[in-house]
Structure 1
Amino acid sequence: MIKNFIFYAIVFLPGSNTFDWDNEEIGTPGAFLIRNNHHSEFYLKSLTLEDVPSHGVIHFPCNSWVYPASKYQNDRVFFSNKTYLPAETPISLLKYREEELENLRGDGKGQLQEWDRVYDYEVYNDLGNPDKGPQHARPVLGGSTEYPYPRRGRTGRAPEYESRLNLALSLNIYVPRDERFGHLKLADFLSYALKSIVQVLKPEFESIFDKTPNEFDSFEDVLKLYEGGLEVPEGVVKVIRDNVPLEMLKEIFRTDGERFLKFPLPQVIAVDKFAWRTDEEFAREMLAGINPVMIRSLEEFPPASKLDPKVYGDQTSTITKEHIESNLEGHTINEVIIERKLFILDHHDALMPYLRRINSTSTKTYASRTLLFLQKNGTLKPLAIELSLPHPEGDQHGAISKVFVPEEKGVENSLWQLAKGYVGVVDSGYHQLISHWLHTHAVIEPFIIATNRQLSVLHPIYKLLHPHYRDTMNINALGRQILINAGGALEVTVFTSKYSMEFSSMLYKDWVFPEQALPQDLLKR
């Protein structure tokens, strides 16, 4: 008796179908082949065999788009919902297991089309558009020691600098078809990416704002985003409709009149529009907000730097015990360090090597260190903020730093509020670019590619990993087109400006995979 076998479905009809089963001759089905003889693709969710003699129900999870047979060199194969290590795979399935992996790897040649099911590697050579001029050029990330980076999925559009798609015509960037998400997920992503559209249509939007199209002129302008959004002039509406892909339009315009960029009202603003000014809220948002993964326990005072002193001089913090000891609830600095009650949000070493380049753009910012104290009531209290710039006479002379401490009145209070503002800008930007994009989206893509190239769907580890990869390749591909590209939303909104991706490459040099998981990450911090 054949213990596992392949059966063939040339025509697939949804619903219930019956046929005779000779258990003595056939055995247990382990996979089926299917050929689509229609002119268009269809989505095959699953196939289930019921009342199989001696076996009961046998389920074949598919969850895949099947294109017409003319698009494939081999018929599609789907395996039953069982797992096998390679050495344990039934002989009758082994050939199909190996052939399927070969199909997914591809041959590394040609431009990939939507029906291709190829997972292959490429460097980030599609962020810039050097043909439009030097201001649109960006370095290739990956494949070099100068700009290391995780690999992304290959599209095959060009060998050196990959050609960019026209945003106004298409967002159809190649990823394997089964990695593409549906309309709801696409709408969610595009809603987040609206900032890039504003840049494409920048001249038309200038009439909406008073003096500075890229900035808020007052707190009232900020609050409008929560209280009703922006009213779009009819001329702008027409330009958007003429230049933006159809799938994006429904996310740009609301049904309650032509208004857009309306965000849900944060609870803290609902209670008090200026609660963000308090030190308590500043520290709470740092911990409970978007980027708590940088906060670490301070183990030495004053905070030290790991930057090479031969290149960057003395980068040791200028925060002294006089700045903070009066706010430690009667404890000394040594005591709170031993008791692990003193914490630091340190954005100094990451920014300092790139600060001259960042500040050469319209952006102006500082490297920052923020000290926080864990109070008896269990909340964090900001103690001091140090803002630093490179020495005007050269990096080798170290940093020029100024320390700010909490003040309740006068000019000192205004300076303290500004210092907290700079910390918030740097921390939120670091979250977007490093914690979120690099350490989450970018680093996982080569794992997705490797899993599909090396692990069969029959492999138990594939079954465990696959649900966690959902939508990532598609989001990353769209991100390369409208978010992290030259002039994209990230460069427009994050303080690193046109050096954003280059800056993230520098920080990737020190990324260590085993340190990302719990409990290692918590122990390290």
Structure 2
Amino acid sequence: MGNCSSTPEVLEKVLETVCGKGTDKSIDDDNNNNFGGRKIKGRVVLMKKNVLDMNHLGASILDRVHEVLGKGVSIQLISANRGDPANGKRGKLGKTAYLENWIATITSVATADDASFNVSFEWDEAMGIPGAFIIKNHHHYEVYLKTVTLEDVPRHGQVHFVCNSWVYPAHRYKYDRIFFTNKTYLPGQTPEPLRDYREQELVNLRGNGSGELKKWDRVYDYAYYNNLGMPNKGKEYERPVLGGSKDYPYPRRGRTGRKPTKSDPNTESRLPLLSLDIYVPRDERFSPVKMSDFLAYALKSLGQVLLPELASLFDKTINEFDTFQDVLNLYEGGLKLPNGVPISKIKDCIPWEMLKELLRSDGERLLKFPMPDVIKADKSAWRTDEEFGREMLAGVSPVIIRRLQEFPPASKLDHKKYGNQTSSMTREQIEKNMNGLTVYEAIENNRMFILDHHDALMPYLRRINTTSTKTYASRTLLLLQDDGTLKPLAIELSLPHPQGDTHGAKSQVFTPAEVGIEGSVWQLAKAYAAVNDSGYHQLISHWLNTHAVIEPFVIVTHRQLSVLHPIHKLLHPHFRDTMYINGLARQILINAGGVLEKTVFPAKYAMELSSVVYKEWNFTEQALPADLLKRGVAVPDSSQPHGLKLLIEDYPYAVDGLEIWLAIKTWVREYCSFYYYTDELVRDDSELQSWWRELRNEGHGDLKDEQWWPDMETRADLIQTCTIIIWVASALHAAVNFGQYPYAGYLPNRPTVSRRFMPEPGTHEYAELESKPDLAYLKTITAQIQTLLGVSLIESLSRHASDEIYLGQRDTAEWTSDAQPLDAFKRFGMKLIEIENRITDRNNNKMWKNRFGPVKVPYTLLYPSTSDAKKATGLSGMGIPNSVSI
């Protein structure tokens, strides 16, 4: 029931309430005029907490007193078309009404469930039509208000309010909580009685830019990434501020207002490591259902706290896998405790609630994971060259490969600073594997492709390799074959020149081999390339290009676009949970010493590296067609609905993605055209212009002077912008996130760290590679403890929540009252279901080899899951959620 130490004070307040002394003035509303009108019946759906959920007995006692008095939650209607001259022509206020039968409405004692309440309003016909309402929660705990529906409003019929918001006790707010109907208005079309309420609500959401924000605050504001370091722990934990400088530009995050650290006034103080009480506006936090799911699956990913304790229980070789069977045991049997280490010993150093999640049904095997898709059908197919190339088109990182248009591959690094960084590959090295083609013939016929991580990593390699990481910058050349598959031709591994950066790169080139020491060396070369790709994928393709770049859009939309605004209604579903999952990432994943630094090769330089890459980010190039054109994997083709011809016909990500892109753009065009039937309406929309101006100047302020930003002068600008936002938040994130466990859950396939360099002939390491190639491979890639932590993390991040809402779906059917947008949205959902069927057909067609591959994993990462025919759940590796929600 909670702490009872304040009970005497609570009882005193109870007596004051019952006796009428010290009563909250908000309960005795002074607007209870007798209208003498008819009754309007209303229905309120909300989620209330049961008394057993209370953390404090005093709050429960006071709440029960208020309930007995019948004054738990009050609602006051506001007229949309009748202004009050005495109140600045704001909409007239109706008589306060209270939710009925609060105590009698039973909810579960263990959970917070939806409940429906009746409410009766006195409403004179002369008051017009309700367009908003004020709600006051007189309890001492928050409630989640879902919907309010008014029946039989005179001369109008039903009025619906979609709320979906946490409402804290009234004394927590310095203003009235306002909710509007599901009507949609451009700013200039807002009914005059509602105009001031609309504008004031935006002022409330912006806050005043100062002070530490509390959980009941609803403030959306900006801050730099100045909360990743922990300088109080020493120099090793210092990290540069990302954002606000030319050296380290970055998208903005949500402001928390926490005080700076004592040792560095530029670094924000951090919460305790395991705290999940991260400030974001309360409506941006996970739902109770999702939070329960997240905690259940995330316990293992908190393993960095347990590493010292776990390691101490095992012998010195615990940090190595000796054979691939040792790795497979993680999925087939779990990590067995050494002889003589009882469960009681584990209990001594690991909290029991965490241990229960780690232990499996056999009782003495830790960390047994689900079998990743990549090894379900065949335990060794991942090692083939065909699968290595296929995953660049249909794996978890299908957005990097590009067409090679010059040979040898060139570099864009500053020649004066980094010397000659042009590739050292030669025609003789690669043409022997090109099926009779020359390099120049292959380039001319659009058949040469490259996975290039050279320029992004080379400037950081000296620093990265001072850590436990020992890795290279890689270039991988591939040939598009007649059957549509990609054949690896060569891998170049480069290091900074030992005599200094201006001397260029020191490179080695490796070519395919299947047997003997040459085959083992080739497998290691592919591993180094995979390490580069894994790190770049996590830091750039996944974190930066979806999570980080979308957060400013979430913030600015709430600050500048009213909930009545059509673009707010369009985009809001695509922002669900993004601020909170990003806040969690800053708390335990991307912070100094966090999970990412422990498990991905750039280590302490990871976020700094992503900041440097952000300098080249271009909003317009996030459009899928623009991205494919930029990478040279497609060319313009006006005969195609999406305007492109793919140069790799069997490119599952691009094929499915273009259909999804076109469906989104068609939906956005139909929606926006309903509200903006001329370009002038776009230019004259004050909220929209403020939204776009602030997004450029504040949210992505470090890139505000770039010329590629759309002008937001035309309907075409608006449609393209909204399509890109929705694409990035939904389909792009799904493509680079939900394949993590299916492909990288088996870490030898997607290693995240290399711990030693390629062995040189004549060394002990080379002899080991020759005699025990599997052991040498495992000793080179991610270590055992890092593997356990990394796989635990991506298992959590690859799961769909049980309350997931997918593209083409909405949480509330009545999200707008406008029939034409609702019809267009229905067509959008039907189009996505058609795409689902075509994806299934393509996956079943044997001619498309890249959709299935040697590992026999069909490409479903862009399967929308809009219908219930093939629902995405758990680790299914399918489904496009509306938002960056995990």
TM-score range (shorter-chain normalised) is: over 0.9
Deviation at 1:254, TM superposition (A): 5.0
The letter for the 2-side match of 1:16 is: N
Contact 1:368 1:387 in 2 (8 A): yes
In structure 1, runs of 5+ residues without a counterpart are none
Q: Does 1:78 align with 2:140?
A: no
The letter for the 2-side match of 1:273 is: K
Structure 2 residue aligned with 1:491, among 597, 601, 607?
Answer: 597
Q: Which residue of 1 aligns with 2:615?
A: 509
SS at match of 1:163: coil
Contact 1:211 1:217 in 2 (8 A): no
Q: Which residue of 1 aligns with 2:625?
A: 519
Contact 2:454 2:473 in 1 (8 A): yes
Measure the CA separation in 2 of the matches of 1:8 and 1:123. 46
Q: Which residue of 2 aligns with 1:15?
A: 117
Q: Does 1:37 align with 2:138?
A: yes
Give the structure with higher Rg (CA). 2
Measure the CA separation in 1 of the matches of 2:630 and 2:556. 28
Measure the CA separation in 1 of the matches of 2:544 and 2:517. 39
Measure the CA separation in 2 of the matches of 1:151 and 1:496. 22
Greater shift after overlay, 411-420 or 139-148?
139-148
Measure the CA separation in 1 of the matches of 2:281 and 2:577. 11
Structure 2 residue aligned with 1:28, among 129, 139, 142?
Answer: 129
The letter for the 2-side match of 1:437 is: W
Pair 1:86–1:260, CA change in 2 (3 A):
farther
The letter for the 1-side match of 2:350 is: I
Q: Which residue of 2 aligns with 1:182?
A: 287
Q: Does 1:482 align with 2:588?
A: yes
Measure the CA separation in 2 of the matches of 1:193 and 1:15. 36
Q: Which residue of 1 aligns with 2:446?
A: 340
Q: Which residue of 2 aligns with 1:236?
A: 346
Deviation at 1:358, TM superposition (A): 0.3
Contact 1:386 1:401 in 2 (8 A): yes
SS at match of 1:362: coil
Q: Which residue of 2 aligns with 1:115?
A: 216
Structure 2 residue aligned with 1:390, among 496, 500, 508?
Answer: 496
SS at match of 1:522: helix
Greater shift after overlay, 277-286 or 183-192?
183-192
Pair 1:234–1:164, CA change in 2 (3 A):
farther
Pair 1:287–1:214, CA change in 2 (3 A):
farther
The letter for the 1-side match of 2:98 is: V
Structure 2 residue aligned with 1:419, among 495, 517, 525?
Answer: 525
Measure the CA separation in 2 of the matches of 1:18 and 1:407. 79
Contact 1:10 1:36 in 2 (8 A): no
Measure the CA separation in 2 of the matches of 1:255 and 1:55. 60
Q: Does 1:465 align with 2:543?
A: no
Measure the CA separation in 1 of the matches of 2:349 and 2:288. 24
Q: Which residue of 2 aligns with 1:216?
A: 321
Q: How does 1:282-361 map to 2 (within 5 A)?
A: 282-361=388-467
Q: Which residue of 1 aligns with 2:370?
A: 264
Q: Does 1:455 align with 2:561?
A: yes
Structure 1 residue aligned with 2:270, among 164, 167, 170?
Answer: 164
Pair 1:249–1:70, CA change in 2 (3 A):
farther
Contact 1:115 1:177 in 2 (8 A): yes
SS at match of 2:376: helix
Aligned CA-pair RMSD: 2.2
The letter for the 1-side match of 2:462 is: R
Contact 2:95 2:121 in 1 (8 A): no
Q: Which residue of 2 aligns with 1:226?
A: 331
Measure the CA separation in 2 of the matches of 1:378 and 1:193. 40
Q: Which residue of 1 aligns with 2:307?
A: 202
Measure the CA separation in 2 of the matches of 1:139 and 1:503. 11
Q: Which residue of 2 aligns with 1:92?
A: 193
Contact 1:8 1:32 in 2 (8 A): no
Measure the CA separation in 2 of the matches of 1:142 and 1:236. 43
Pair 1:426–1:325, CA change in 2 (3 A):
same
Contact 2:243 2:251 in 1 (8 A): yes
The letter for the 2-side match of 1:34 is: I
Pair 1:17–1:190, CA change in 2 (3 A):
closer
Pair 1:180–1:252, CA change in 2 (3 A):
farther
The letter for the 2-side match of 1:494 is: V
SS at match of 1:282: helix
Deviation at 1:44, TM superposition (A): 0.3
Contact 1:48 1:58 in 2 (8 A): yes
Contact 2:347 2:355 in 1 (8 A): no
Contact 1:302 1:319 in 2 (8 A): yes
Greater shift after overlay, 329-338 or 47-56?
329-338
Task: Give deviations 1:374-403, integer Å, cap 9, x for gaps.
Answer: 111111111110000000000000000011
Measure the CA separation in 2 of the matches of 1:209 and 1:428. 29
Task: Give deviations 1:126-172, integer Å, cap 9, x for gaps.
Answer: 1111111111111111111111111111111114321111124x210
SS at match of 1:481: helix
The letter for the 2-side match of 1:222 is: V
Pair 1:383–1:192, CA change in 2 (3 A):
farther
SS at match of 2:158: strand
The letter for the 1-side match of 2:459 is: P
Task: Give deviations 1:474-499, integer Å, cap 9, x for gaps.
Answer: 00111111100111110011000111
Q: Does 1:379 align with 2:379?
A: no
Q: Give aligned-pair identity as a percent.
A: 67
Measure the CA separation in 1 of the matches of 2:345 and 2:439. 61
Q: Which residue of 1 aligns with 2:239?
A: 138
Length-normalised TM-score, structure 1? 0.94
Greater shift after overlay, 418-427 or 220-229?
220-229
Q: How does 1:422-437 map to 2 (within 5 A)?
A: 422-437=528-543
Length-normalised TM-score, structure 2? 0.56
Greater shift after overlay, 317-326 or 38-47?
317-326
Measure the CA separation in 2 of the matches of 1:152 and 1:2. 36
Greater shift after overlay, 456-465 or 204-213?
204-213
Contact 2:392 2:400 in 1 (8 A): no
The letter for the 2-side match of 1:359 is: N
Contact 2:242 2:249 in 1 (8 A): yes
Contact 2:97 2:119 in 1 (8 A): no
Q: Which residue of 2 aligns with 1:277?
A: 383
Contact 1:7 1:33 in 2 (8 A): no
Measure the CA separation in 2 of the matches of 1:492 and 1:251. 22
Deviation at 1:292, TM superposition (A): 0.9
Greater shift after overlay, 357-366 or 505-514?
505-514
Measure the CA separation in 1 of the matches of 2:613 and 2:621. 15
Deviation at 1:234, TM superposition (A): 3.6
Pair 1:434–1:360, CA change in 2 (3 A):
same
Pair 1:289–1:85, CA change in 2 (3 A):
same
Measure the CA separation in 2 of the matches of 1:505 and 1:256. 45
Q: Does 1:3 align with 2:81?
A: yes
Q: Number of matched residues?
A: 519
SS at match of 2:518: helix
Deviation at 1:62, TM superposition (A): 0.3
Task: Give deviations 1:381-427, integer Å, cap 9, x for gaps.
Answer: 11110000000000000000011111122111111000001111111
The letter for the 2-side match of 1:236 is: I
Q: With CA pairs under 8 Å and 6+ residues apart, which has the higher RCO, 1 or 2?
A: 1
Measure the CA separation in 1 of the matches of 2:419 and 2:626. 31
The letter for the 2-side match of 1:282 is: F
